[in-house]
């Protein structure tokens, strides 16, 4: 099938084609010879604005005609007509694809082709869809039928240059009353105000301070054997300067709300006993993950369960969290016990999700969560 440009010499064939077929969805369903003649004379089939093509099948039979108009505009329109006896054989969609091909090959690089049809012209609507056009508008009572003196709904279809060349059909995003701009600072994260210190029955939990460095480093040294099993960062014993630098970064991250590390102290003695905090924060939800490690010298007293319980409460009440997660290695029974004691739900075990702390083995990860 191909489109072949119509020329003035073929005036009679055009008149014959237009007057011997019926056009039930056009304003004039049986145009008279005089009207076609007049239109030709006025350049309605051939001009700077209009080009007309025969739709010829592989046997070179003229099965239809298509007029492409508004060619001086960036967005040309068209009128496609298949002869009565050739309708229902797939010529419409093939012809429309050729129309798009013609328009997009023009040197002016047209940005789109569009067409309108009556709501009940289902053959034409299918034709649009088969040719990769997307429905872009449904205009109620926008199509006047002079014969019936009544209004029909009109449907608009279009194909963009990008879709045509990439072979894609990008649907219209109908739910567009919200801006498409990425949501920035939805919760005004940098302004989000919350206490940087809070308490539980036995514990004081607060934002890190650079002065904490020595205490924290001593704790790491004392707990190194236990930490090494589960913490990638504890594979080598850090120098005190490295711990200081790390805490300085944690202080900065706390201020900018990027990550909220928290240090845990016994209320009674003021001793530092471990670290916890909110990590992998997504303030849009908001959701976050609680992480923790306890100084080995303070194990077995329920301190970390108490801290994680208080952090969960703080996340929901002060940070408006909708989801709090605890993630740990499937083999880390002590960490799992904390999540389970606090009635977190085990939502899943992600297989081969991470590497062991020493980077030697692929490990599975438990995802526990509480939601609000
Ligand atoms: C509209 C027109 C161009 C379609 O061309 P066509 O060669 O007849 O199209 P097809 O035979 O390939 O039919 C296209 C699809 O519509 C379907 N179709 C045809 N008539 C239908 C009807 N009355 N109801 C529902 N679907 C119909 C076909 O089954 C086919 O679907 P498929 O691809 O799933 O098989 C042609 O029928 C025509 O010239 N009609 C008169 C002029 C006109 O209305 N032009 C549009 C002006 S806006």
Q: Tens digits of per-residue pLDDT, 30-51?
A: 899 999 999 999 999 999 999 9
- Collapsing DSSP to helix, strand or coil, 36 comes out as helix
For 131-171, write each residue's pLDDT tens digit. Answer: 999 999 999 999 999 888 999 999 999 999 999 999 999 98
User: Cα dihedral angle (95, 100, 102, 106), rounded to 10 degrees?
Assistant: 170
Query: Ligand 1 centroid vs 87 CA: distance in angstroms?
Result: 7
Measure the CA–CA gap between 260 and 363, rounded to whole angstroms. 26
* 65 alpha carbon – ligand 1 mean position (Å): 14
Provide the whole-model pTM. 0.56
1 in ligand 1 pocket by Cβ < 6 Å?
no
C-alpha closest to that of 115 among 147, 67, 167: 67
Residue 310 CB: number of other CB atoms within 10 A? 19
When mean pLDDT is compared across 3-7, 22-26, 172-176, the lowest value belongs to 172-176
Q: Summarize the confidence of residues 226-242 as an average pLDDT.
A: 93
| Residues whose CB is less than 8 angstroms from the CB of residue 258 and which lie 6 or more positions away in sequence, other chains included | 281
* Closest of 65, 145, 155 to residue 115, by C-alpha: 155
Is ligand 1 within 6 A of the CB of residue 87? yes
Taking alpha carbons only, the member of 111, 231, 218, 92 closest to residue 162 is 111
Per-residue pLDDT at 192 = 79
Report the percentage of the chain scoring pLDDT > 70.
Answer: 96
Indicate if ligand 1 lies below 6 Å from the C-beta of 23. Answer: yes
3-state helix, strand, coil split of the chain in percent (to 5) is 35, 30, 35
**Is 93 close to ligand 1, i.e. is its CB under 6 Å away?**
yes
């Amino acid at each position: 099938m191909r489109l072949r440009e119509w020329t003035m010499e073929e005036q009679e064939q055009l008149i014959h084609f237009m007057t011997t077929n019926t056009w039930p969805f056009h304003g004039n369903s049986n145009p008279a010879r005089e009207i076609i003649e007049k239109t030709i004379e006025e350049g309605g089939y051939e001009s700077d604005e209009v080009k007309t093509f025969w739709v010829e099948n592989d046997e070179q039979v003229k099965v239809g005609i298509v007029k492409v108009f508004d060619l001086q505009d960036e967005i040309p329109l068209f009128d496609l007509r298949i002869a009565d006896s050739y309708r229902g054989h797939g010529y419409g969609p093939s012809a429309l694809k050729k129309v798009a091909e013609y328009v997009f090959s023009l040197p002016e690089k047209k940005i789109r082709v569009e067409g309108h049809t009556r709501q009940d012209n289902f053959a034409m609507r299918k034709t649009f869809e088969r040719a990769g056009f997307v429905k872009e508008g449904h205009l109620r009572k926008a199509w006047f039928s002079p014969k019936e003196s009544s209004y029909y709904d009109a449907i608009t279809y279009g194909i963009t240059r990008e879709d045509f060349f990439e072979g894609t059909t990008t649907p219209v995003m109908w739910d567009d009353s919200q801006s498409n701009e990425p949501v920035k600072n939805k919760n005004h994260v940098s302004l989000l105000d919350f206490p940087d210190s809070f308490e539980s029955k036995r514990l004081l939990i607060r934002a890190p301070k650079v002065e904490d460095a020595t205490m924290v480093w001593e704790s790491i040294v004392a707990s190194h054997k236990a930490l090494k099993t589960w913490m990638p960062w504890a594979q080598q014993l850090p120098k005190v300067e490295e711990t200081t630098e790390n805490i300085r970064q944690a202080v900065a991250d706390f201020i900018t709300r990027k990550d909220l590390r928290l240090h845990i102290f016994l209320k009674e003695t003021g001793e530092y006993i471990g670290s916890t905090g909110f990590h992998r924060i997504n303030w849009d939800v908001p959701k976050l993950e609680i992480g923790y490690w306890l100084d080995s010298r303070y194990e077995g007293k329920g301190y970390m369960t108490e801290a994680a319980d208080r952090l969960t409460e703080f996340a929901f009440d002060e940070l408006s969290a909708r989801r709090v997660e605890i993630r740990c290695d499937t083999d880390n029974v002590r960490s799992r016990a904390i999540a389970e004691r606090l009635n977190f739900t085990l939502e899943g075990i992600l297989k081969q999700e991470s590497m062991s702390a020493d980077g030697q083995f692929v490990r599975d990860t438990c995802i526990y969560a509480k939601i609000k």
